[in-house]
Amino acid sequence: MSKMRTILNRNRDRLITCFNLQTAATDLPLQDGGFRDFRMSLLPPLAYPSFLSTLDRLGVLHIAADFEADRVAAALAIHLGAPLVSNDSDFYIFAPYWASSGGLTYIPTDLCDFETPRSFDGGYYLEAQMFVAREGRTFQGLAPIQRPLFAVLCGNDYIPFGYFDNYIPEPATQQHFVEHDDQAASRSAGPSRKSAKFQRVVDWLSGFGGDIVEPVNRIISRFPLAERPQAAHNLHTALASYSVPMDQLTPYLEYLFDGKTPSCRVRQVIPHDLHPLSQTNGLRALKILVEGNSDPQLSAGWSPRLTKAFRQSQIQPGFCDALYSFGIVMTPRVEDVQNRESSHLCSLPLRQLFVGLLLGASTADRRTLPGTDGPSHRPFFCEYRRVGCSCIEKHQVTFKQQTLRGSKAFTFLQQKLCLPNRPPVIPAWLHGLACILFLWARFDARPETARLCYSPIALAVCACAIAAQMRMLGGGSGDNGVRVAMVRHFRSLRPSNVTEPLNFSILHALAQLQSVHSGFATLVSLVDALATGDDECGVEVLPPQVVFPSGRLAHHIACQLSKVAAAERLRTVVTDWLPRLVGKVETRLLEQVASTYSFLMRFVDDI
């Protein structure tokens, strides 16, 4: 069983949430967009890149793993003796399974108090709760090596909840637990049922001491004979997700500590001689926890420059799934799910070019890569994206293998995407913003993008972006006080006493712009990483928190501009909105901002 099913289910749940939001927000009577019932629990799409940008600004080291980072993160935390902060319950399970002391210190973010900062001499801190498995009561009676088996039997990302329920023998002291679908059953019984199941598994496993070989053999033997191979495969695949790759940390440690690798804080006596001629399912399970699966190194065959860009998260790891995994999953966003195609279609040409370049940069045989298929003259990768209001479907996307050989970095992008040249009089960041607008208008090709100086959302987004960038340049990009003041100022510009329903046409265009920004930024980083010598694109893509400093404010400005005659919208932004966005500044600076803004909108329209 693949984790892809779990990922797709989560994205379908997210799509349903987005659909319910649009349904509720468009029902009569219309409510203000800030209505409390519209506050959905959705991670904003730009949260991840904004978080990375913030870490860079603060000088915090971070590193991208070749594949899902859970196992590497757990191994690094154990090696360094450092706490691991996450909201993933799998970190309750990870441990140095063969160590006599020590373990993984886990801090669940769900138990952190983010609302009450506490002060001390020199700063502030947040209260958190720390989990150390050897010291807690959660897994009392279970050896560390048994905790992964406990998680698998209860159901994890690779095993559906309840898959093994009918095959776990009952402890002698416990009555068999059956989960009914009775409509009259109380919903509050759910947590207690789950707790009873967990306790049942703990009680059964604890009867085997510190062994997993025998309980695995017993579980698989209880399946019908024809189903045993599949059951064993599912169990082994799920167990592999809990192996701790302590022997694979060298490239990560060398990157983080510049070659001065600290010694491991934990000593383990790992079992050997796990290669008998005839392996039982239990021995195979033990071997998997010791050795893990032989996952291919994603960065094998890459140049050091490309590997460094990937490790620094300048290149989106999710886009690499087109070649090295089983497809790119494009997460649904708050957009017009009822009337429009996926907002990610607008940036599809950028992903096609990215995948073609990445394949050209790899020394791996295309036929051995799990993500690509098709004939050599017409290869394709898979992409999962929204279709309609309730479906996420798999699409085959054709692409061409690309290479930079013989081309300058920007010349290559210009030839493939028809990008405009950068006039000498404008800074690189403004040219980057112009490229994003141009690509959105080109790929969307709808009436609202025919003239950007008439487009409410284009005018609004650019006004916020230029105002944010000019404020940052004027106050010092590293000054946190400038950022806080800007955020507070932007929040104050939307009146709280005005009823302004959500406009999903505007929200859809905003989602498209964000998708194009994300795709273009990672494509530029890839081209720069593949360029030779000092050759680079020279295109500066502003970080997402500058281009989109306030989606709510951009929506508000766009809604107001939609009420103004098309020919008057640009003038309205220059004379009304820009002065309010920039704040109290010298007349000369305000004139500079207005001139920059007007130039940008006309420059893109004239391309």
Instruction: Examine the domain organization and report whether 268 and 416 are in the same domain.
Output: no
Instruction: Examine the domain organization and report whether 312 and 290 are in the same domain.
Output: no
Instruction: Examine the domain organization and report whether 247 and 105 are in the same domain.
Output: yes
C-alpha gyration radius of the chain: 27
Tell me if 348 is assigned to some domain.
Answer: yes
Instruction: Examine the domain organization and report whether 163 and 86 are in the same domain.
Output: yes
Tell me if 436 is assigned to some domain.
Answer: yes
Of 295, 319, 342, the position where a domain reaches its end is 295
423 Cβ contact partners less than 8 Å away, ≥ 6 residues apart: 431, 603
Tell me if 180 is assigned to some domain.
Answer: no
% of the chain at pLDDT higher than 70: 93
Q: For 303-436, where are the E strands, in sequence order?
A: 328-329, 372-373, 380-387, 391-398
pLDDT at 403 > cutoff 70: yes
Please compute, for residue 489, the number of CA atoms within 13 A of its CA located in the half-sphere on the CB side: 19
Tell me if 443 is assigned to some domain.
Answer: yes
For 375, the enclosing helix (H) or strand (E) is: none
Tell me if 179 is assigned to some domain.
Answer: no
Hey, which of 184-198, 357-371, 388-402 has the most confident mean pLDDT? Answer: 388-402
Residue 107 vs residues 48, 73, 79, 110, 130: alpha-carbon distances, Å: 20, 13, 17, 9, 5
In terms of residues, how long is the chain? 607
Per-residue confidence (pLDDT) for residue 562, from 0 to 100: 95
Of 260, 295, 330, the position where a domain reaches its end is 295
Residue 468's pLDDT band (cuts 50, 70, 90):
very high
Residue-wise pLDDT tens digits, 163-182? 999 998 775 444 443 444 44
Given a contact cutoff of 8 angstroms between Cβ atoms, the answer to whether 150 and 201 are in contact is yes
Instruction: Examine the domain organization and report whether 443 and 521 are in the same domain.
Output: yes
First to last CA, the chain: 50
3-state secondary structure of 435: helix
Given a contact cutoff of 8 angstroms between Cβ atoms, the answer to whether 170 and 213 are in contact is no
Q: Range of 433's domain?
A: 1-60+300-606
Tokens at residue 164, please? Answer: 């093994």
Per-residue confidence (pLDDT) for residue 278, from 0 to 100: 59
Residue-wise pLDDT tens digits, 194-237? 788 888 899 999 999 889 999 999 999 999 999 999 999 999 99
Instruction: Examine the domain organization and report whether 109 and 145 are in the same domain.
Output: yes
Given a contact cutoff of 8 angstroms between Cβ atoms, the answer to whether 596 and 470 are in contact is yes
pLDDT at 23 > cutoff 50: yes
Q: Are strands 131-132 and 328-329 parallel, antiparallel or unpaired?
A: unpaired
Instruction: Examine the domain organization and report whether 339 and 475 are in the same domain.
Output: yes
Helix ranges (DSSP H) in 184-269: 189-206, 213-221, 228-240, 250-256
Longest dimension (CA), the chain: 84
Residue-wise pLDDT tens digits, 134-145? 666 667 778 899
Instruction: Examine the domain organization and report whether 130 and 164 are in the same domain.
Output: yes
Tell me if 451 is assigned to some domain.
Answer: yes
Q: How far apart are CA 330 and CA 383, in angstroms?
A: 7
Mean pLDDT of 511-523: 96
Instruction: Examine the domain organization and report whether 469 and 414 are in the same domain.
Output: yes
Tell me if 177 is assigned to some domain.
Answer: no
Nearest alpha-carbon partner for 440 in 452, 430, 427, 431: 452
% of the chain at pLDDT higher than 90: 52
| Axis crossing angle, helix 147-154 with helix 228-240, rounded to the nearest 10 | 120
Tell me if 182 is assigned to some domain.
Answer: no
Q: Are strands 123-127 and 131-132 parallel, antiparallel or unpaired?
A: unpaired
Instruction: Examine the domain organization and report whether 133 and 1 are in the same domain.
Output: no
Report how many domains make up the chain. 2
Instruction: Examine the domain organization and report whether 152 and 274 are in the same domain.
Output: yes
Predicted structure pTM score: 0.87
pLDDT at 161 > cutoff 90: no
Q: How far apart are CA 392 and CA 384, in angstroms?
A: 6
For 406, counting Cβ atoms within 10 Å of its Cβ (0-12 exposed, 13-18 middle, 19+ buried), the class is exposed
pLDDT at 483 > cutoff 80: yes
Given a contact cutoff of 8 angstroms between Cβ atoms, the answer to whether 528 and 537 are in contact is yes
Q: How far apart are CA 81 and CA 484, in angstroms?
A: 34
* Mean per-residue pLDDT over the chain, rounded: 87
Instruction: Examine the domain organization and report whether 283 and 306 are in the same domain.
Output: no
Of 263, 295, 327, the position where a domain reaches its end is 295
